[in-house]
Amino acid sequence: MTERLKILLLLAPALLVIGGLFGGGLLLGLIESFGYMPLLGQTELNLEAYRAIFASQSFWSGLGLSLYISTVSTVIAGGLAIAAALVLRRAFKGRGIIRFLFQINLTVPHLVGAAGILYLFSQSGLFARLAHALGLIGGPSDFPALVFDPLAIGIILQYVWKEVPFIALILLANMQAIGRDYESVARCLGAGPVQVFRHVLLPLILPALFAGSMIIFAFTFGAYEIPALLGETYPAPLPVLAYRAFTDVDLARRPEALAMAMIIAGLATLILAGYAKLFYQRGGING
């Protein structure tokens, strides 16, 4: 058996399954977003669904909300993660236990975090009770609305909670691989700590920071259950709107659901292109 054939045989099952389910799913979704619904006797392709969603106010506010949530979550999580990684890379007493505690929420499913955020930040939640005990508020309604709120603070808090350790651990590994030599040289040449960070370390960790940020931006942009649990009914982010349109009693709204899903996938594909570029620069899977 030639090596080429052997490689092909090893890859074929994965190729078929991922290509079929993921690629096939996206392709079918695209066709359905053009109005193809043989179950309803519709086999002609058109752009009605896109026209309908582009004309609707709820789509644009949903798109804006999705972009806002993903951008703010990613920026805050990225910033906190850099700070955390800078502290955690230092040698200090008790670092082992701190690092262990730091990764504790990595394996906690998103929904559990969302329920926890709800019981912490709702108007009758733990923080409202603490505020009452401190005499800051008179009753639940005096506590600011941090969940089901127009600024989506609860959703952002949940994403930041979940993503900080994720990015920080990527950065930490990256910093360890880079070592401290470049920074020592810069310091010997007279650079202060801020200059060393700004001009030496930051440019070196930037690719890893971007890679991690792109993953969470795309994830938060396409996530359904967190905004469904912690968000306002209106405006709702794109995945929630897509799910609602998909499960609408009016079957004619299904192409609209698929059109929104395709817009989510389209933006994620752009992010994928950027991620893949960084991935291959690192040397691909063997890198």
Partner 1 sequence: MTARLPIPLRLFLALLICWLMAPLIPLAVWSGSRSWYFPDILPSAYSGRAWSYVFSSVSGVPEGLWQSAFIALSATLLSLLIGLPAGRALGLYKFKGKALFELLILAPLIVPGIAAALGLHMVFLKLGLTGTMAGVVIVHLIPALPYMTLVMASVFAGYNPAAEQQARSLGAGSFQVFRYVTLPAILPGLLTGALFTFLVSWSQYILTLLIGGGRIVTLPLLLFNFASAGRNDITGAISMIYILPGAVLLLIAGRYLTGRNSAADSLRQI
- The binder of partner 1 chosen from 61, 67, 116, 151 (CB under 8 A): 116
Calculated CA dihedral for residues 15, 21, 24, 26, nearest 10 degrees:
-120
Give the number of other Cβ atoms within 10 Å of residue 122's Cβ.
Answer: 19
Is 92 one of the binding residues for partner 1 (CB under 8 A)? yes
Residues ≥6 apart with Cβ < 8 Å to 215: 275
Q: Are 273 and 209 in contact (CB under 8 A)?
A: no
Backbone angles phi, psi at 206, to 5 degrees: -55, -45
- The binder of partner 1 chosen from 49, 63, 77, 128 (CB under 8 A): 128
Q: Helix (H, G, I), strand (E, B), or coil: what is residue 240?
A: helix
Q: How far is the CB of 213 from partner 1 (least distance, A)?
A: 11
Nearer to partner 1, 111 or 185 (CB): 111
Is 41 one of the binding residues for partner 1 (CB under 8 A)? no
Q: How far is the CB of 47 from partner 1 (least distance, A)?
A: 17
Q: Are 50 and 137 in contact (CB under 8 A)?
A: no
Nearer to partner 1, 48 or 225 (CB): 225
- Which amino acid does the sequence have at 177? A
Q: How far is the CB of 107 from partner 1 (least distance, A)?
A: 3
Q: How far is the CB of 141 from partner 1 (least distance, A)?
A: 11
Q: Are 167 and 216 in contact (CB under 8 A)?
A: yes
Helix axes 153-178, 57-88, angle to 10 degrees: 40
Q: How far is the CB of 115 from partner 1 (least distance, A)?
A: 5
Angle ∠(175,179,180) on CA atoms, nearest 5: 110
- Which amino acid does the sequence have at 15? L
Q: Are 222 and 5 in contact (CB under 8 A)?
A: no
Scanning 51-59, 186-194, 197-205, 235-243 for contacts with partner 1 by CB under 8 A, the matching segment is: 235-243
Q: How far is the CB of 17 from partner 1 (least distance, A)?
A: 6
Is 23 one of the binding residues for partner 1 (CB under 8 A)? yes
- The binder of partner 1 chosen from 45, 47, 75, 98 (CB under 8 A): 98
Nearest to 228 by CA among 120, 124, 155: 155
- The binder of partner 1 chosen from 69, 146, 236, 242 (CB under 8 A): 242
- The binder of partner 1 chosen from 45, 47, 75, 111 (CB under 8 A): 111
Scanning 41-49, 54-62, 182-190, 263-271 for contacts with partner 1 by CB under 8 A, the matching segment is: 263-271
Find the binding residues for partner 1 in span 158-217 (CB under 8 A): 158, 161, 164-166, 169-174, 177, 211-212, 214-216
Nearer to partner 1, 195 or 247 (CB): 247
> What is the H or E stretch that residue 253 is in?
none
Is 64 one of the binding residues for partner 1 (CB under 8 A)? no
Per-residue string for binding with partner 1, 135-164, x by CB under 8 A? ----xx-----------------x--x--x
CA separation for the pair 158, 112 (Å, rounded): 10
